[in-house]
Amino acid sequence: MIGLIGISYKTTPLEVRERFSFSKEEIIPFSEMLQRETEISDLVLISTCNRTEIYFSQDVHDNQTAFELVYEVIKKFKQVTDHCWHHFYHRSNTGAVRHLFEVVSGLDSLIIGEDQIIGQVKEAYIRCTEAALTDAVLMRLFQKSFEVGKRVRTETGIKLGITSVSSAAVEMCSCLLNGVNDKSVMLIGAGETGNLALQNIVKKGVSKVTVTNRTHEKAEKTAAKYNGGTVPFDLFEDSLHESDIILIATSAPTPLITKGMVIKSLQLRCNKPQVYVDLSVPRNIDKEVAGMENVSVLGVDDLQEIVRQTTEKKKESAAKAQIIIDEVVSDYTEWLASRSLRPAINTITTNLQAINLEELSTYRKLSTPEMQEIVDDYAKHLTHRYTRLLIKNLKDLTDNGKNIDSLKTINDLFKFV
């Protein structure tokens, strides 16, 4: 069974999503708890600002039991005691495969066709694979998903226009500030999300760039790309007032920007308006900041109008993408189904060959070398003929492994020895 359990912006508000957000450092401890409590050891965990999804491969439990067990471990690990089952969706087998392909293609994103998600999924897959958490089923599944993502972006027009949450946020900044040509920006957090947002806003023509990050070398590297400056992370509060736009994208578990910081910044700016863009999950800006005068706060759930406009323009490309997804889903499920036939095929082949060798050993005692060679050739031909015939019938009977109801009986039937 391939299983998926997750939450996303479609099913869950931000205040719930952030409670189930996973940092990179939590993946191994979580997988160890999952193995202990469910015997499920093969997984890929994806956690972004818009979703937390766990894909797993297992044959220990029935589908419903597996989902319930994984859900309980998620709650236990994140120390959540509330009833949250209604926020989670779950898919199995073909449903899980299709969902992953849609995610990587950008069809399930807040901004249809966004580019950032494919990199985020690749990073999650590589991290879990390097930690020996993925089996052959998941490895092939995710490799196929990257194939789909590449084809959708090259064979359709889904990349046109706004393609990421950060680019949508930049568009809204431009609207709120009547353009950004003469504006300054500070980036807090120089990870992938922050870098992408900064790159997009620099393309819009901001006049000044400042970067801060816990690792100062990383901040300097990012700032150097745009001839910008840096400030020490523990002192960024003192520099907030110098920038018109504050982009923040870190993995901090609690808000880094408080109402008091923003009050101080506005005072130093003589109440000149500022825009704060929070691309973090959990949120990095105190909720109270959003209600302040002369301050606009944009979060990952504040982009609905741009999303709606972009979605309308990309409907035709999305339909073409679904055709590609259908093709690769079929290809992958054919491969997955055929795997279930391998034990039966190996049993048929091995046991027919064993019977052949056993029977031939008797004839070798009674025949001349010439006759022995003739009998050997005939026996091999007969064995191969019946092996091919039985395997063909096996594939026909089970629809190439898709109908597995009779597979156990078939496996038992061919246990000759």
CATH code at position 294: 3.40.50.720
Place of tokens 């049993």: 347
251 and 325 together in one domain:
no
Is 168 domain-assigned?
no
Angle 63-78/27-38 helices, nearest 10 degrees? Answer: 130
pLDDT in tens, 146-173: 999 999 999 998 888 776 777 788 888 9
CA distance 91 to 12: 17
In angstroms, the CA 209 to CA 231 distance is 11
What letters, b where the CB count within 10 A reaches 16 and e where it falls short, cover 300-326?
A: bbbbeebbeebeeebeebbeebbebbe
Q: Over the stretch 352-389, which tens digit does the pLDDT of each residue have?
A: 677 767 666 766 665 667 777 776 776 676 666 766 76
pLDDT in tens, 214-242: 999 999 999 999 999 999 999 999 999 99
Instruction: Indicate the angle between helix axes 136-155 and 94-105, nearest 10 degrees.
Output: 40
Q: 235 and 347 share a domain?
A: no
At 417 the pLDDT is: 47
| Residues 109, 134 within the same domain | yes
Cα pseudo-dihedral 96, 97, 102, 106, rounded to 10? 100
Dihedral sign, Cα of residue 168, residue 170, residue 176, residue 178: negative
Of 216, 227, 220, give the one whose Cα is nearest residue 184: 227
Same-domain check for residues 361 and 296: no
Predicted confidence at residue 70, as pLDDT, reads 98
| Other Cβ atoms closer than 10 A to 167 | 24
Cα–Cα distance for residue pair 23/14, rounded to 1 Å:
16
Q: Which two tokens mark 35?
A: 């193995």
Q: What are phi and psi of 6, to 5 degrees?
A: -165, 175
pLDDT at position 394: 65
Residue whose token pair is 């790309």 = 225
Verify that 248 and 202 share a domain, yes or no.
yes
Query: What CATH number should be reported for the domain holding residue 153?
Result: 3.30.460.30
The pLDDT tens digits for 246-273 are 999 998 999 999 999 999 999 999 999 9
Q: Look up the pTM and report it.
A: 0.67
175 catalytic per annotation:
no
Same structural domain for residues 137 and 247? no
Does residue 166 form part of some domain?
Answer: no
Which strands, in side-by-side order, build the sheet including 42-47? 42-47, 51-57, 2-8, 89-92
Number of domains in the chain: 3
pLDDT score recorded for residue 69: 97
User: Does residue 169 form part of some domain?
Assistant: no
Residues 94 and 112 placed together within one structural domain of the fold? yes
Q: Can you tell me which residue has the tokens 């910008």?
A: 228
Mean pLDDT of 77-88: 95
What is the Cα 208 distance to its own chain's centre? 35
Q: Which residues contact 83 (CB under 8 A, 6 or more apart)?
A: none
Distances (CA, A) of 185 to 197, 226, 314: 11, 11, 30
Q: Determine, yes or no, domain membership for 409.
A: yes
Q: What is the mean pLDDT of residues 182-207?
A: 91
Tokens at residue 268, please? 């130093």
**Are 7 and 140 contained in the same domain?**
yes
d(CA 18, CA 27): 16
DSSP annotation of 249 reads -
For the CA atoms of 221, 226, 231, 237, the dihedral, rounded to the nearest 10 degrees, stands at -130
Domain range for 396: 342-413
Residue 274 pairs in a beta bridge with: 295
Same domain, 104 and 234: no
Q: Are residues 31 and 146 in the same domain?
A: yes
pLDDT at 338 over 90: no
- Provide the 8-state DSSP code for 85: G
Residue type at position 295:
V
Are 232 and 353 in the same domain? no
Residues 144 and 26 in one domain: yes
Express each pLDDT in 105-134 by its tens digit. 999 988 888 888 999 999 999 999 999 999
pLDDT at 416 over 60: no
pLDDT for res 377: 74
Alpha-carbon gap, residue 96 to 83, rounded angstroms: 24
Has residue 351 got a pLDDT over 50?
A: yes
Q: What is the pLDDT of residue 395?
A: 64
Write down the pLDDT at residue 111.
80
Q: Is residue 172 part of a domain?
A: no
**pLDDT over 80 at 67, yes or no:** yes
Q: Which helix (H) or strand (E) holds 90?
A: strand 89-92
Q: How many CB atoms lie within 10 A of CB 399?
A: 10
